[in-house]
Structure 1
Amino acid sequence: MLKIIFMTTMMIPMAMALKPKMLYQMTTSYSFMIALLSMSLLEPNSNTHLHLDHTSAPLLSLSYWLLPMTIMASQHAMTKEPLQRQRTFLSTLVLLQLFISMTFMASNLTLMYIMFEATLIPTLIIITRWGQQTERLTAGTYFMLYTLTTSMPLLMMILFINNMTSTPTFFMQMMQPISPWTELMLWMACLGAFLAKMPIYGLHLWLPKAHVEAPIAGSMVLAAVLLKLGGYGIIRMMQILPTMKTDLFLPFIVLALWGATLANLTCLQQTDLKSLIAYSSISHMGLVVAAIMIQTQWSLSGTMALMIAHGFTSSALFCLANTTYERTKTRIMILTRGFHNILPMLTIWWLLTNLMNIATPPTMNFTGELLIASSLFNWCPMTIIMFGLSMLITASYSLHMFLSTQTGTPLLNTTTHPTHSREHLLMILHIIPLMLISMKPELVI
């Protein structure tokens, strides 16, 4: 456990000291080695020092698996920059990874909160320093304000619980019975911070802005790992806070399901490719929120499955959007059409990833959504209407995205470079693990 933390930390001086020719090869291979090592933590009873269990271990492995892929994805864009900036960029990525892994490994609430908030700083630097347009500062401001405003009540709640239990609160029920209003306030303070991070519809405005302005590495980490911190935080809070009746969660479940459908409808009218993928993340996270709130065994299993599957799928979609952007220098979907004639191999990756986004069986996305759908239906049969509508619109916008980027005659007359083996490797590293996990789902469920 600690050896993985130390190895990740040592990547920072390594990125600073390597020769320019070896910079990307060494950092990628080194981080890939750590990713393979982190796989051993998926085994039960493998952790010795810090807190890992069947909830945090799969998410930790996902975050480590993503680190070499973010380095590979940003390689083409970063090599045009001055060397010192490339080193700073790699160090910021590693620092972000370190904070994320410490969040998942935290053994008590206070450490988890500190690391949860610390992820804000490197993400903000990546968005505002390496983003493409001038609006990146607005996106960074949105991101910071939403996160800081909602996390203030969470800090007060944690201090209150620490005072009550006279110890840094571990993830177990140690609280004495308290008044119902206090319980309600504690739950609201906790849910606010984590729901804004996921984000639930209504607190979601920072996400499309952050995604559109962030460089590819920022988008991948945001979609694949940072959104999952919200779900992970709520699951952890349920182990500490007094159990509440589902009546409190009813408005949140309704909002999550409505929000998922509304985000899907918003996807249908997007012209910007990255913005569309960002809104699709909001709709998937809406299902995750609804499932966590029900608090049954099946719904939590579905939550874990969908979080891991969505991590790989949305990250792969952002990679594909980036390969298109690097060739056309635009993200407007109608301008990037006709790629099937120019780069047919890339079309196969587009099709596979879109099918995973729709949750076609036998993918992991399908497993997660099936578990969530059955637990929602078991809780209230009427939810199947919202869920079915959501699935229908998801299929519509995914196929719309695929057809509008791949078919038709190309509108741009620019010369298009052929795909690099680096890009194909990137897609293989996204899709193969997802296929393998669906063969052995007990690793994450």
Structure 2
Amino acid sequence: MLKIMLPMIMLMKFKNNWSLIQIGLGLLSFFVGLNCFSNMYMYNLGFGLGIDYLSYIMIYLSSWIMFLIIISSSQVKFKNKFPTMFIIVNLFLLLSLYLTFSTLNYLLFYISFEMSLIPTLILILGWGYQPERIQAGIYMLFYTLTLSLPLLCSLLFIYYKEGSLTMLLMKPVYVLNYVSMMWYFSSIMAFLVKLPMYMFHLWLPKAHVEAPVAGSMILAGVLLKLGGYGLIRVLILFQKISLNFSWLWVSVSLTGGIIISLVCLRQVDMKSLIAYSSVVHMSLVLCGLMIFSWWGLMGAVVVMVGHGLCSSGLFCMANMVYERVGSRSLLISKGLLNYMPSMGLWWFLLSVGNMAAPPTLNLFGEISLIIGLMSWSSLSMLGLMLLSFFSASYTLYMYSLSQHGIFFSSLYSCTSGKVGEYLVLFLHWFPLNMLILNLSLVNGILTYS
């Protein structure tokens, strides 16, 4: 793990050289890709750090998204909005994500999980657009911190009982009583907020709307996946208890997903619509994780990766429109095909990815989740039908309203797109559609984890 972390820490030394940081992060993500390892459960055991297949996929996703963030945030450099500080904050965030995904100790996992909150908050407060960003930052901070304190107490209780917090040495809890149920709920609530589950999601649209493009991309691309990753790691301890509450999580998630889909159909803010669609996708991921099935876990991991790439690309495009039009409102930024015709193709490609059309990763992931949920309970078919229908509805609503219609009359000149912007969108779209050719990697997760 040190061979991944040390080059990234060394990049902080060259924080004044924007081009070198871009090339360095690109090479780093390339070398992480080459670091695919043999079929073992844990790899690189040493210094309390190690990775399995799941950690490897998440680390690769983090490196790739951060590489794309630095390319798409070039306005920070051109307008001289404290570019050095921007680089340091992003690299520190990447370091905390590396630690979170590669640690073998629950306490270090908790510390690095919370550590990622600080640079995200600095990104929103420092480079956000409106004065409401302070409220958005406070929402995110307090939602996360309030429900992560019970997780810390739970980990200390585990240490008191077991004498260790090493993940591989933990014994599952089989006794079902009031104490174990409180212990279970206090352990998973922090991850449900981060995911975010319906009813704990109010911080997410505010944070997305007020964040700069870098904040939105890292939030959608990686930070929401921290919740799913944490649930996979923690639910190993509470399998017996969690099976008794599967009905609760699945029913809340499916109902909440349908309600949020209807909320999406009423949005006029482009970024807000994409942010709410993240809640819908993550509700399906939560269902897949909570039913403890092979198909559910496989689908959840694939949807997490696919959504990370697709949602990050959509936020990137929303920012490109905002830089030209000066507004994120779908009522003002209509008729984009008239003056950004070549960008219309990318809107289409990423929109169909968002509604899980072939050949995207989202399609395979959602099929796996639907198979898992229907085998768990045939009654969930109704919720899944409505969820799939409304997912397609709000994506079509976003695409048709933004691309068609009469464009705003005050827009007298506009560039269609720059080479760097097309490169970023291609690097989002290419892995989203090509990774479906090699899904044996996902089967490896389940076989060896």
The TM tier, using the shorter chain, reads over 0.9
Q: Deviations over 1:281-338 (max 9, x none)?
A: 0000000001100011110000001000000000000011011011001000121111
Partner Cα separation in structure 2 for residue 269 and residue 392 of structure 1:
16
Note closer, same or farther for the CA distance 1:176–1:299 as it changes in structure 2 (3 Å cut): closer
Alpha-carbon RMSD: 1.4
Instruction: Provide closer, same or farther for how the CA distance between residues 186 and 176 of structure 1 changes in structure 2, counting only shifts above 3 A.
Output: closer
Which residue in 2 is equivalent to 1:48?
Answer: 44
CA distance in 2, matches of 1:177, 1:205: 34
Aligned to 1:417: 415
Q: What CA distance in whole angstroms lies between the structure 2 residues aligned with 1:24 and 1:340?
A: 32
What amino acid does structure 1 have at the position aligned with 2:136? A
How far apart are 1:393 and its partner, in Å?
A: 0.6
Q: 1:374 aligns with which of 363, 371, 376?
A: 371
- Does residue 168 (structure 1) correspond to residue 165 (structure 2)? The answer is yes
Report the equivalent of 2:128. Answer: 131
Per-residue deviation, residues 140-184 of structure 1 (Å, max 9, x unmatched): 000000000010000000000011111123245425755522221
| Match in the other structure for 2:279 | 282
Mapped to 1, the partners of 2:173 and 2:316 lie a distance apart of 48
SS of residue in 2 equivalent to 1:48: strand
Question: 1:436 pairs with 428, 431, 434, which one?
Answer: 434
1:27 to 21, 24, 27: 21
The runs of at least 4 aligned residues of structure 1 exceeding 3 Å deviation read 41-47, 175-179
1:403 and 2:400 matched: yes
8 A Cα contact 2:174 2:238, kept in partner: no
Quote how far apart the aligned CAs of 1:418 are.
Answer: 3.0
Q: Which runs of 5+ in 2 are unaligned?
A: 444-449
Give 1:71-150 correspondences, 5 Å limit.
71-82=70-81, 85-150=82-147
Q: Which moved more, 1:25-34 or 1:246-255?
A: 246-255
Question: Does the 8 Å contact 2:76/2:83 carry over to 1?
Answer: no
1:225-240, aligned counterparts within 5 Å?
A: 225-240=222-237
Answering whether residue 382 of structure 2 is matched by residue 385 of structure 1, we say yes
Letter of the 2:143 partner, please give it: Y
Q: What's the CA shift for 1:78?
A: 3.8
Give the letter for the 1:44 counterpart: S
CA distance in 1, matches of 2:279, 2:173: 36
2:446 maps to what in 1?
none
**TM-score, with length taken from structure 2:** 0.95
Matched, 1:4 2:1: no
Contact map agreement 1:5 1:98 (CA 8 A) in 2:
yes
Contact between 1:58 and 1:443, CA under 8 Å: does it hold in 2?
no
- Does structure 1 retain, via aligned residues, the 8 Å contact 2:205–2:275? yes
Q: Is the 8 A contact 1:42 1:58 kept in 2?
A: no
SS in 1 for 2:378: coil
Q: State the partner residue of 1:333.
A: 330
Measured in 1, the distance between the counterparts of 2:117 and 2:307 equals 21
Number of the residue aligned with 2:357 = 360
1:437–1:443 Cα contact (<8 Å) kept? no
- Residue 180 of structure 1 aligns to which amino acid in structure 2? N
Give the conservation status (yes or no) of the 8 Å contact 1:109–1:170: yes
Further displaced range: 241-250 or 367-376:
241-250
Equivalent residues in 2 for 1:271-350 (5 A)? 271-350=268-347
Mean CA deviation greater in 73-82 or 138-147: 73-82
Larger mean CA deviation between 42-51 and 123-132 belongs to: 42-51
Closer, same or farther in 2 for the Cα pair 1:296/1:110, shift >3 Å? same
Distance 1:243 1:292 in 2: 14
Q: 2:68 is aligned with what amino acid? A: M
Q: Report if the CA contact (8 A) 1:223-1:315 is conserved.
A: yes
Letter in 1 for 2:123: I
- Cα 1:359–1:172 change in 2 (3 A) is farther
Q: How far is the alpha carbon of 1:441 from its aligned partner?
A: 1.4
Q: How many correspondences in the alignment? A: 437
Query: Is the CA contact 1:35–1:65 (under 8 Å) kept in the aligned structure 2?
Result: yes
3-state SS of 2:104 partner? coil
Deviations 1:55-109 (A, max 9, x none): 2211110001111100111112442025xx1100111000001001110001111
Give the direction of change, closer, same or farther, for the CA distance of 1:245–1:144 in structure 2 (3 Å limit).
closer
Q: Secondary structure of 1:244's match? A: helix
Q: Distance in 1 between matches of 2:380 and 2:39?
A: 38
Q: In 1, Cα distance between the equivalents of 2:404 and 2:37?
A: 44
Change (3 A) 1:11 1:412: farther
